[in-house]
Chains A and B, each alone.
Chain A
Amino acid sequence: MKDIVLKTKDLCKSFANNGLQNHILDEVNLEIYKGDFTVIMGASGAGKSTLLYCLSGMDTITSGSVLFEGEAIEKKKEKEMSVLRAKAFGFVFQQIHLVSNLTMLENILASGYLIKEKTAKQVKEKAMHLLETVNMKEAAMRLPSQVSGGEAQRAAIARALINEPKLIFADEPTGALNRKNGSDVLDLFTKFHNKGQSIIMVTHDIKTALRASRLLYLSDGQIKGDMSLAPYDGQMLKEREMQIQSWLMSMEW
C-alpha cells in the first residue's frame, strides 16, 4: 500500500464573473501517492492548472480541504505556507518564471538559502550538483536572458529540487518549449522520478503523459478517470501511447 502524500476532500473552486458563479472544480476527491508520477489531463479549460494550483496551495480554494501529510493547507497562514513551499513543495511553471536579474545558480540559491538547517556551502554544493545533473553547469553564471528556454526550464527544475521537496508540481513544463527541449525536460522529470521523487504534472500533451505512472482525467470539474501505468522505461512507446489514447477516448477527450 502506497503512502498518501496529498489528499483532497470535496475540493471546490469557483470564480465569480459578473454576478455568475463559474464552478471550475466540483467536489474533487483524490489522493496522491508517494513516489508516483501523477499526470492530470483534460480538455483545454477543464481546470487542470487550477487543480494543480489548489493542490499546491498557490491558489485559495472555495470549499473543501487539501490535506498534506494529514494537515489542511488551506488553513495555514502565509508564513506556514511559505515554509511548506520552501521545504516540502517544488514548482515548475510553464512560463519558467526565473528571476530575471539572478543567474541560474543564484535562482537556485535564492530558494536553497531559505532553509536554515543547511549551511551556505552545503546549499551551494547541492545547487552545483543539481545544475550538473540537469546539464546546466557551464551556464551556472548566466542570466535567464542569456540562455535558451530549454536551458532555463532545466535550471527551474533544479530550483524546484534544491530543498529535496516531498512533491514537485509541474504546470505544462514543456508548453513553452520546442520538441527537443521539451523532450530533454521530460527526461529530467523521468530521471528524478526514477530516484523516488513524487511528481504531479498537468498537461494536455500525450507525449508528456507517456512518462506518467498514474493518469488522472479531469472533466466537468471532477476526476472522471484514474489509470495506473507501468513505470516508464523508454521502451514500447507506441503501445504505451495507444493505451493512453484509448483511455482518453473512453473519457471522451
Chain B
Amino acid sequence: MQEVFLLFRKGMKNKKGSFFGIFILMLLMSMTLISVVTIRLNYNDRQKTAVKQDGYGDILFWILDNNLSPYHMTANDILKSTRENTVVKKVKSMPYIGTHIRSVNGKKEGESLLIQRMDKSFITYTFFDKDYKKMNQKKLKLKENEVAVPLSYVSTYHCKIGDKLSFGSKDSTPVFTIAAFFEDPYMGSSIMGIKTVLINDVTYEHLKQIAVSNQDTKVALGTVLNVYQKTDHGQKLSDLAFVKKLNQKSQLSGYASFSLSNSESQNFMLILTNIFSGILVAFLFLLLIITVIIMSHSISNSIEMEFKDIGILKAMGVPAKRLQVAFLLQYVVTMLFGCIIGIIPAIPVIAFADQMTKTVINLAVSEKIAWIPCLILELAVLLLLCLFTIFQLRKMKHVKPMQAIRDGNTSVYFKSRLQLPISKRFLSLSMAFRQLISGKKNYIGACGIAAILFSFLILVNGMAQWGGAGGKNINAMFSNFDSDVSINYLNPDVKEAVEKQIDLTAKVKTSFYGTTGYMMVNGVQMYVTALSNPKEYTSVYRGRTCKYDNEILITQYVANEFGIGIGDKITVGRGNQKADYMVSGIYQCANDVGANIAMSLSGWEKLQNKELQGNAQVTTSQISQFTYEYQLKDTGKKSQLILSLKKTYDATQINVQSNVGLGGMSSVSVAIKALSFLIYVIAAVFAMVTIALVSGKIIKKETKDYGIFKSIGYTSFNLRMQIAFRMGITATIGSLLGVGLELLFGKTCVMYLLGFMGVYHYNIQSHMQSKVAIFVMIVIFFILVTYIFTRKVKRVSTKMLMSE
C-alpha cells in the first residue's frame, strides 16, 4: 500500500491547482447546503415552538362587536357556543381594539391593527430591546400610551424604540410611543397586512372608551378567541376540518372579521423562508451538477496527464485497482476537506441571514447549525461524488502499459467539418475557433456550465424583477382591479365635491365602488372583494367575470383547495346568511396567499342583513361602507390630486389612498434582490473555478504549441487572447443553450416559487434586455477571467522546444 500513498502524495502535489479548485467548489457547496438547511429547519422549528410556547391554540378568531350587532349577538354568545362545541377543548378570550395605522414613524399607512393588552394568561411573547436582543419580560413594563410592536416594523416602517405610532382617523386618538419589539410567531411577518400590538391596561381602558363612545369610527371594539381543539386518542383533525366542524354549529368564521389557523399562520410566516430556500435548493442542485461536470473534467485530465506514468506503473506490476485507490484518495480527501472547512463560513452566513431576516420574518431564530440533518446531507453528497469518481476512474483499467509509455497522451487531430480557415484580419479569433474545434471535448463541460449558469441567472434575475418598477407587478399580482385612487367617504356629504375636484384635476376615466371583508367560503374563511361593476376585475384569465349576482370568481388556490372549477357551485356565508354561487372564472389575486374570491356587489348584497337588500342605489348612509375607486385619464396628476385632497379634507371626512398598502411585499422584493446578489457572487466563483480548471488543462496540454507559436513570433498576449476567445466562444454557445433551458424550465420554476405567495398567473415578460445583459456579462466575464488565469503562458519559454 506504500505505493498508493506515494502516488497520492505525488498527485496532490502535481495537481494542487486542480484540487484547489475542487476544494473551493466543495467549500461553497457545503457552506450553501448547511446554511439553507439550517435556516429552513431553524425557522420552521422556531415558528412551531414559539406558537406552542407562547400559548397559541389551533385557531384564532377576531370578532368585532359591530359585526355581531346586525345579528343581535354578542361576543359572549359566540364564546358560549364555541365552548359547547364537541371538538373544542378550551377557548381563551381577550378583548381587543380593531383599527388602522394612521401614521408610523412619520409615514402615512393604512395597515390593520389589532391592539391587545399584554396578558401572559392569554398569550406570552418574547420581547426585544433597541439592539434586537432578547429582553426579560418581567422587566418590561409598558407605560400609558406606550406600545410594543412586532419586530417586523423595523423593516416595514424603519422603526426604532421611541418612534411614534398613531392610529384611527382622528388626531384626537392618542399617539403611541414604541417602547419594545416582540416576536409574533403567528402573524408578525412583514408580508402580512394585519398586526397585533400590545399595550398596558390603562391605555386599553382609554381606547375602549373611544371605541364605545364612537368618537372615532376607525376604532372598534372586538374579542379575540383563542380556540384549542380536542384530541381524540392523540389524534387531531386538520385545521380545515376543525374549522368546518366549528362552523357547522356556530358559523364562527361568518361572524369573524378575520381568522387564522395554525397551518395558515405557518404558511404565511414561512413564505419568505420557503421562497428563499426554494431558490437556494434549486441553486444547490445546479451547483452539484456543475461540480460533477468539473470533477469529470478534472479526473479525465488527471488520467491524461499521467497517462505515461500509469503505463509505467502498470508495466512494473502495480494493479489498476491500487492506482484507482490512489487517485480516489486524492479526490476524497479534497472533497472531505472542502466539506469540513465549508462549515466555517456557514456560521457567519447563517448569523447574517438571521440578522437580515429577523426583522422581516419576525422570528427569534436560533443561529445554531442543524448538525444532524446537515451532516446527513453532506455525507449523501460526498457519497454521490465518490461513487461518481469511482465510475470515472474505471478508465484506468483499460490503459495498456506499452501503448501509454510509447504514445503518452499525444493528441491526434483529425479534420472537423466545422473547420473554418484561419484569417489574417481576425487571426486570434480564427485561431481560437480552430483550437476550440480541434479539442471540442475539453470545452463541453465549460459550455454546459455556462448554459446552466445563464439559465439560472435569468431565473434569479426574473425573480428579483418580479416586483417590477415601483412595485407595478406587485400591484398587478395582489390587486384584482385597476384603480388610481381609492376613497372612503367617512362623511358622505363631501362625495360630490370630492368627485368634482378629481374630475377637474385629473379627469375621471371611470369609477366604481366596492367592499372587501372576510366571509365563509365552503366553510372556510376567505377574503372577499365585491365590486359594483364586475367588468372591472382585470385579472380574469380563464372563463369570464361574475356578471350576475349568483356568480363568483375564484383563484387557482381556491380551485385547488376545493377541487372545483368553472361551472361548479360554491357556498358563501356571512353571519347567518348563506348563498350558493357558480364559479364563472379563475382570476389572479395573491391576497392571503390566494385564499380569496370576488363577486359582484349585487351578489354580496344577498349575504347582508335583509334590511340592506333590495336597494337599487346606494343610500347616503351606506356610502361610508364602500370604497370608491377612480381610474384617471391623466395619471400623471395622481400624486398632485391625492395631496390636494388630503389638504382639503381631513381624516374624519375622507380616507384617500393611491395603492394597496404593500410595504411588506416591497421588503420581500428587497430580500429577493439581496438573495439574487448572493447567488450572482457564488455563480461567479463557480464560473471562475471552472475557467481556472479548463484553462489550466488547456495550457498544460498546449504548452508545446505555445512554445512553437512564440518561436514564430507570437506574443504571450496573442496566445492568452486566443485562449480567452475560446472561452468566450464556449460561453456564447453555452448561453445560447441556456436560452433553451430557460425557455423549457424557467417559467415552471418561477411559477412554482411564486406559487408560495399565491401568484398562480403571472405574465412573465421576456425581459429581452436583461437576457442580453446577462448574456454579454457572462461572455465578457469568461473572457476576462480566462485572460487573468492564463498568466502561466508568459512563463512558457521557447527553449522547451530544444531537443538537447
Contacts and interface: CB of A to CB of B under 8 A. Distances in A.
Interface of A: 45, 48-50, 53, 58-59, 78-79, 82-87, 91, 93-95, 97-102, 106, 109-111, 113-114, 119-120, 123, 143, 145, 159, 163, 171-172, 175
Contact of B803 (A49, A79, A84, A143): A49
A100 B712 contact: no
B711 interface: yes
A131 B431 CA distance: 21
A58 B799 CA distance: 6
Contacts of A143: 413-415
A87 B803 CA distance: 24
A78 B414 CA distance: 33
B801 interface: yes
B715 A82 contact: yes
B470 to A, nearest CB: 53
Given A53-B798, A91-B711, A98-B708, 16 more contacts: A45-B804, A49-B803, A53-B799, A53-B802, A58-B797, A59-B802, A87-B713, A94-B803, A97-B801, A99-B705, A100-B705, A101-B439, A110-B712, A119-B424, A143-B413, A171-B802
B716 interface: yes
Given A79-B715, A114-B713, A171 B412 contact: no
A171 B804 CA distance: 9
Contacts of B421: 106
B435 interface: yes
5 contacts: A82-B710, A95-B803, A100-B413, A114-B712, A120-B423
A101 B708 contact: no
A94 B711 CA distance: 14
B566 to A, nearest CB: 63
Contacts of B705: 99-100
Contact of B712 (A59, A95, A111): A111
Contacts of B434: 101-102, 106
A53 B415 CA distance: 33
Nearest to B437: A101
B412 A145 contact: yes
Nearest to B425: A120
A97 B711 contact: yes
Nearest to A84: B713
B677 interface: no
A143 B434 CA distance: 13
A111 B422 CA distance: 11
B538 interface: no
Interface in B715-735: 715-717
B704 A97 contact: yes
A100 B714 CA distance: 17
B686 to A, nearest CB: 29
A85 B713 contact: yes
A110 B709 contact: yes
B804 A50 contact: yes
Contacts of A50: 802, 804
B802 A101 contact: no
A91 B411 contact: no
Nearest to B705: A99
B710 A85 contact: yes
A89 B798 CA distance: 13
B74 interface: no
B803 A172 contact: yes
A123 B411 CA distance: 29
Contacts of A109: 422, 424
B797 A101 contact: no
A99 B801 CA distance: 12
A7 B143 CA distance: 99
A119 B423 CA distance: 11
B413 A97 contact: no
A140 B710 CA distance: 23
B318 interface: no
Nearest to A83: B713
Interface string B676-714: 000000000000000000000000000011011111111
A226 B425 CA distance: 46
B339 to A, nearest CB: 40
Q: Quick one: which of A48, A50, A101, A159 has the most chain B CB within 10 A? A: A101
Contacts of A83: 713
A86 B713 contact: yes
A120 B424 contact: yes
Contacts of A120: 423-425
Q: Which 9 A-B residue pairs are closest in the complex by CB-CB distance?
A: A86-B713, A101-B438, A49-B804, A120-B424, A58-B798, A59-B799, A111-B712, A113-B424, A94-B803
Contacts of B710: 82, 85
A59 B714 contact: no
Contacts of A145: 412-414
Nearest to B714: A82
A82 B799 contact: no
B427 interface: yes
Nearest to A143: B413
Contacts of A93: 711, 801, 803
Given A86-B713, A100-B411, A106 B708 contact: no
Given A50-B804, A93-B801, A143-B414, A101 B715 contact: no
Given A86-B712, A100-B413, A102-B434, A113 B801 contact: no
Nearest to B718: A82
Nearest to B717: A79
Contacts of B423: 113, 120
Given A82-B713, A111-B713, A99 B804 contact: no
Contacts of B413: 100-101, 143, 145
A238 B493 CA distance: 130
A111 B713 CA distance: 7
A48 B425 CA distance: 39
Contacts of A45: 804
B796 to A, nearest CB: 11
Contacts of B427: 113-114
A185 to B, nearest CB: 15
Contacts of B414: 143, 145
Given A59-B802, A145-B413, A99 B709 contact: yes
A109 B710 CA distance: 15
B431 A110 contact: yes
Contact of B801 (A95, A114, A159, A163): A95
Nearest to B439: A101
Contact of B802 (A49, A78, A110): A49
Contacts of B422: 102, 106, 109-110, 113
Contacts of A101: 413, 434-435, 438-439
Contact of A78 (B431, B704, B711, B716): B716
Contacts of A114: 427, 712-714
